[in-house]
A and B are shown apart, each in its own frame.
Chain A
Amino acid sequence: MRSPRELVGGSPAATYPIAFDGRELPAQEGQTVAAVLWAAGILAWRSTRQGGTPRGAFCGIGSCYDCLVTVNGRPNQRACLVPARPGDTVTTQEGTGHADLAV
Chain B
Amino acid sequence: MPTSPSDPAALTATTDLAVIGAGPAGLAAAVTAARLGLRVTLLDTAERPGGQYYRHPAASLGATRPEALHHDWRAFTTREAALRAHEAAGRITYLPRHHVWTVVPADEPGTWTLHAVAGHAPDETPTTLRTRRVLLATGAYERQLPFPGWTLPGVVGAGGAQAMLKNNLVLPGRRVVVAGSGPLLLAVAGSLAAAGATVPAVVEAASYTAYAPQTPALLRNPAKLAEGATYGGALLRHGIRLLTRHAVTEAHGTTRVEAVTIARLDKDWRPLPGTARRIPCDALAVGHGLVPQLELATGLGCATLQAPDGTVALELDAAQRTSVPGISSAGETGGIGGAQLALTEGEIAAHAIAGRPVPAALTRRRARLRAFAAAMAAAHRPGSGWTDWLREETDVCRCEEVPAGRIREAAEELGARDARTVKLLTRAGMGWCQGRMCGPAVAALAGEAPAPDRRPFSCPVPLRHLAALPPTEPAPPGP
Interface of A with B (CB < 8 Å)?
A: 1-14, 28-32, 34-35, 38-39, 43-44, 48-51, 53-66, 68, 74, 77, 80-83
Contact = CB atoms under 8 A, between A and B. Distances in A.
A1 B60 contact: no
Interface stretch (B162-170, B305-313, B322-330, B418-426): B162-170
A57 B63 contact: no
Contact of B159 (A7, A61, A68, A74): A61
Nearest to B66: A8
A54 B162 CA distance: 22
B437 A59 contact: yes
B74 interface: no
A9 B160 contact: no
A50 to B, nearest CB: 5
Interface stretch (B7-15, B147-155, B267-275, B350-358): B147-155
Contacts of A50: 401
Given A54-B255, A80-B164, A48 B431 contact: no
B35 interface: no
Contacts of A11: 62
A10 B63 contact: yes
A58 B155 CA distance: 7
B428 to A, nearest CB: 13
B78 interface: no
Given A7-B195, A8-B63, A64-B433, 7 more contacts: A4-B196, A13-B60, A31-B58, A31-B168, A51-B395, A58-B437, A65-B431
Contact of A2 (B64, B154, B196, B437): B196
A4 B170 contact: yes
Contacts of A1: 196
B52 interface: yes
A62 B196 contact: no
B380 interface: no
A53 B150 CA distance: 12
A43 B62 contact: no
A31 B57 CA distance: 8
B57 A60 contact: no
B153 A35 contact: no
Contacts of B163: 60-61
Contact of A29 (B58, B66, B68, B141): B58
B255 A59 contact: no
27 contacts: A1-B196, A2-B196, A8-B63, A8-B65, A10-B62, A10-B63, A10-B64, A30-B60, A31-B61, A31-B170, A35-B169, A51-B395, A56-B153, A58-B398, A58-B437, A59-B142, A59-B157, A59-B437, A60-B157, A61-B163, A62-B45, A64-B437, A66-B398, A74-B121, A74-B122, A77-B121, A81-B120
